[in-house]
Amino acid sequence: MTFGGLLDWARHARWLTRGRIIAGGQVLLLIELTVLVMLALWQHGVISNHVSNTSSDFVSFYAAGKLALAGTPALAYDQAAHFLVEQRFTEAGAPYQFFFYPPVFMLLFAPLALLPYYVAFYVFETATLALFLFTMQRILREPGWLWAFPVLAFPAIFWTFGLGQNAFLTASLFGGFTLLIERRPTLAGMLLGLLCYKPHFGLLAPVGLVSGSHWRAFLAAGATVAGLVAMSVALFGVETWQAYLTAFAGSGSVYASGRIDYAGIVTPFGAARLLGFDPRVSYLVQALVTGSMVLLTALVWRWVKNGNLRSATLLAATLLAVPLALLYDKLLLLVAIGWLVREARHDGFRPWEKTTLAATYLASLAEYVIGSAWSLPLGPFVSLAVLVLAVRRTALLRDDPAIHVVILPGDVSRAG
């Protein structure tokens, strides 16, 4: 193959058809499931001589729910008391799992803590995974369920399930918000408000709502947050919120200390720390990127009327704007990719889009290994690549609103 032929091969990626993407997802999913099962058997001593003392983040949520049921929710923010409860559901020697979530999160986990630990784990993870898949199906508008194979093979799925995290719920609420913002703004705002258990993830959404004059959604989100806070105060008391605010004030030192693996933090702050910069410089880098993302989101939501591109921009920019997002939070990036694919199915793929999306997917598979082994932070650059694709489309849309689509054998690509 000549250099020109190779360049054209990468530029249009006509070989990357729907059937091949699905087949690749099936193979990758099978490999990942095999690894996940083997790890579970190893951790529980089935194929090893001892039971691993590792634990999941879910035990932190569950322990907080138990403390709320016992009438002592404020102790969820007392690390010693919280750790004692965690130890009831983990092996001896398991490390402490921090709990820095606001008391509204206990509104969900107090009822779940009524169930036995493993039952609660699988109920929460499978139910929220089903909700996430439903949301992705509505975004992608793909027929059948074969599309779910490459979605399920995305590495953030396994980080979420393996660590017992809440990213399925987070991505479902954020994705639902972007789905409904134009047609049912009040419900969209309510979904956004429910995200207040991860308040930093709502950093850019208000910017977009104000810039796009989505006042009904903005007010609905605010009312939902206020209602949840009031309910948590009524059930758990003001002292629980005081304990949370005290714990939250000290959480920055935990994340800056390295107790949370920097290779797993996929933000500019995490990248700077992984590269060896001190916390002050790392926070400065994050602040500069955050300011840029605020400005970009405001401009896109103010001037671009295409909802698909607004949504993709907001989701990708959020992962760059917040100082703390971990590997499982990259599900937001998968939702952003879903919006870009939906736009491309309507408008045709632009040159280099398929190749870039495939590269970001593969990089997501390797980013933790590369970060751990060589201290190279791929996470923010993967998010940036998706953001660039979204912004590039918005720029081309403004410059050339007339879209010329060429139908190619077995594929749809935009003339370029």
Backbone phi and psi for residue 80, each to the nearest 5 degrees, phi listed first: -65, -50
For the cut 80, the answer to whether the pLDDT of residue 224 exceeds it is: yes
The answer on pLDDT for 360 being more than 60 is yes
Q: Give the pLDDT band of residue 403 (cuts 50, 70, 90).
A: very low
Q: How confident is the model at residue 51 (pLDDT cuts 50, 70, 90)?
A: low
Residue whose C-alpha is closest to residue 69's, from 18, 37, 25, 115:
115
pLDDT, residue 36, reads 82
Main-chain dihedrals φ then ψ at residue 411, nearest 5 degrees? -160, 170
Report helix, strand or coil for 104: helix
Give the mean pLDDT of 113-133. Answer: 97
Separation CA 271–CA 319 (nearest Å)? 12
Residue 412 parent element (H or E) = strand 411-414
Alpha helices in 237-278 (DSSP H): 238-249, 251-257, 268-274
Q: What's the rounded mean pLDDT across residues 38-44?
A: 76
Q: Tokens standing for 4? A: 């020109």
Q: What is the dihedral of CA 62, 64, 70, 73, to 10 degrees?
A: -160
Predicted confidence band at 397 (pLDDT cuts at 50, 70, 90)? low
Please choose, from the candidates 133, 158, 153, 157, the residue with its C-alpha nearest in 3D space to the C-alpha of residue 145. Answer: 133
pLDDT at 416: 32
Q: Which helix (H) or strand (E) holds 414?
A: strand 411-414
Query: Quick one: tokens of 71?
Result: 């009438």
Q: Identify the band that residue 252 occupies on the pLDDT scale cut at 50, 70 and 90.
A: confident
If DSSP codes are grouped into helix, strand and coil, which group holds residue 2? coil
In sequence order, which residues have a C-beta less than 8 Å from that of residue 362 and are 6 or more positions away? none
- Amino acid identity, position 200: H
Q: Of 383, 358, 356, 378, nearest to 368 (Cα)?
A: 378
